[in-house]
Homo-oligomer: A and B are copies of this chain.
Amino acid sequence: MEETARWLTSEEQHAWRSFVRLHEKLGGRLARLLQTQSKLSAADFAVLVQLTDVPEGRQRYQDLARELEWEKSRMSHHIARMAGRGLVVREECLEDARGAFVVITAAGRAAIEAAAPLHVEAVRSLFLDHVTPAELRTLGEVSERVVAKLDEDQS
């Protein structure tokens, strides 16, 4: 395998490593702020954001897991913990045995609404304030293209 690996050039290596560090550092910092300011983990926040984006705040376990790229077992455990805190409820699906739904509760909506202004301020001060509009556009375009590709490969 090693002989045929398409190793990265030094430019690629440098950019990729910087990008990974950004991921680790920005992700870590935002996660810690969320936890401290809003008592939500990054995982809680990702689930709540996803559920506020879908009609009636409800989505099948399997679709939620695919959206977040989580293993099903991780999703089940995490949703059980969030349900224990009243942020979501599990809703059985009578007409379709394939899967239950996860539904955001009023408390879940209240939690994310309370977290949102603090989170947006952190996103601005830690990230957006240091990125030009043109750079942000490039970032958004690249992200959409790669995500579309990842979704395609999966199906």
Contact = CB atoms under 8 A, between A and B. Distances in A.
Interface of A: 1-2, 4-8, 11-12, 14-16, 18-19, 21-29, 32, 46, 68-71, 116-118, 120-121, 123-124, 126-128, 130-131, 133, 135-147, 149-151, 153
A35 B118 CA distance: 35
Most buried by B among A7, A69, A121: A69
B150 A6 contact: no
A115 to B, nearest CB: 11
A150 B26 contact: yes
Given A69-B29, A117-B2, A130-B146, A140 B23 contact: no
A22 B130 CA distance: 19
B68 A136 contact: no
B139 A138 contact: yes
A88 B145 CA distance: 38
Nearest to A127: B146
A2 B120 CA distance: 10
A15 B140 contact: yes
Contact of A19 (B71, B140, B149): B140
A140 B18 contact: yes
A70 B28 contact: yes
Contact of A120 (B6, B32, B141): B6
Contact of A28 (B5, B69, B149): B69
